[in-house]
Structure 1
Amino acid sequence: MNVELKLVNKRHCELLYEWANDELVREHAFNTEQIDYGEHKKWFENKINSPNTYIYIAYIEEIAIGQIRIDIEDDIGFIDYSIDKEYRGKGYGTTILKKIVEKFVTKDKVVKMLVGKVKIKNTASQKAFKNSGYTRNTKNDTIEYYINLTKDN
């Protein structure tokens, strides 16, 4: 099935809230606490209005299966992604990590590198990054995966 990434809009606030508070997502997040809905709404408004943040919902036909967010600092895009619990273990993490490269390789080279940070116990994300062609770099108790988007590096 073909996965398509579409930019979020205000109607996605509750969906992202539900996904963010999923038990496994919280376990693998660097902040493991449950998220308050009021705080999430403020965060969401800030993110969708930021010129340095891109949030996409991954769809198969009209079914939302996950999300991927890129927060840009200088010329690096930091990745955060998750897959709906009904669609995990089917390779969709790998698919959206590949598709996000396509989105940013055409953005006038504003972003030179994409980076994802993963906890050591999050083997599913490690596999997805590896299978997507990202390079691994272990740092203390986390693993960073990165991919260069410029040909001169």
Structure 2
Amino acid sequence: MKKDTALYLREAVEKDVDILFSWANDEDARKNSFCTEPIKYEDHVIWFQNMMQNESTSQYILIDQATPVGQIRLECDGAVGEISYSIAPDKRGVGYGKAICQLLIRKVCIEKPEIKKLTAKIKIPNVASVYCFEKNGFAESYSQYEVDIANAVLDDSLLRISPISRGDFC
């Protein structure tokens, strides 16, 4: 990232469907996503069309010297906006994450005064995103724990009931 050039966000347009698909299916992006399976192109196109028509969602592309280098999405629900972003694989590690969030925060302050709080959901191992959001003033507000039912620990002795077999319900 060159320090002497202005970065800016532009609204996503129909032609961005392919670059967003490419970034979304990047191995690291999938690993850090809450849905880690690769995305099918047909599903992405449908998602993209629905997202572009959704008035509560704003999708932006980060531009540096006329080159798209990342994307950031804002999904609004009342006074709360949820952010998700990604940086092009070959542009990571040079500060674009912090910059893209800063640009969106400024845009929200100016263009969406009804938004009073911004949130982001980040997987624990995604230290780059944690760093980026913390540098932009975000603070961790809670932790969420999950288990796949197939891996849940069943301890019937705690419940004082007859033992069951996992096959009885799973």
TM-score by length of 2: 0.80
Alignment CA distance shift 1:94-1:108 (3 Å): closer
SS at match of 2:17: helix
Cα distance in 2 for residues equivalent to 1:69 and 1:30: 15
Sequence identity percentage: 32
1: CA distance, partners of 2:39 / 2:112: 35
The reply on whether 1:98 has 2:111 as its aligned counterpart is no
Amino acid at match of 1:71: E
- Give the alignment partner of residue 16 of structure 1, picking from 20, 25, 39: 20
Quote the RMSD (CA, aligned, Å). Answer: 1.3
1:148 match: none
Q: Which amino acid in the other structure matches residue 30 of structure 2?
A: R
TM-superposition CA deviations, 1:28-75 (whole Å, max 9, x none): 000001001111111100111111010000010111100000011122
User: Could you tell me the TM-score, scaled by structure 1's length?
Assistant: 0.88
Residue of structure 2 in register with 1:147 after alignment:
none
| Alignment check: 8 A CA contact 1:21 1:34 kept | yes
Larger Cα Rg: Structure 1 or Structure 2? Answer: 2
Off by >3 Å, runs of 4+ in structure 1? none
**Corresponding residue for 1:29?**
33
Unaligned runs of 5+ in 2: 147-170
| Match runs of 1:102-141 below 5 Å | 102-141=106-145
1:58 to 19, 40, 62: 62
Distance in 1 (CA, whole Å) between partners of 2:22 and 2:59 is 15
Say whether the 8 Å CA contact 1:70–1:80 is kept in structure 2.
yes
Q: Cα deviation per residue 1:123-146 (whole Å; 9 max; x = unaligned)? A: 00001111112122231349xxxx
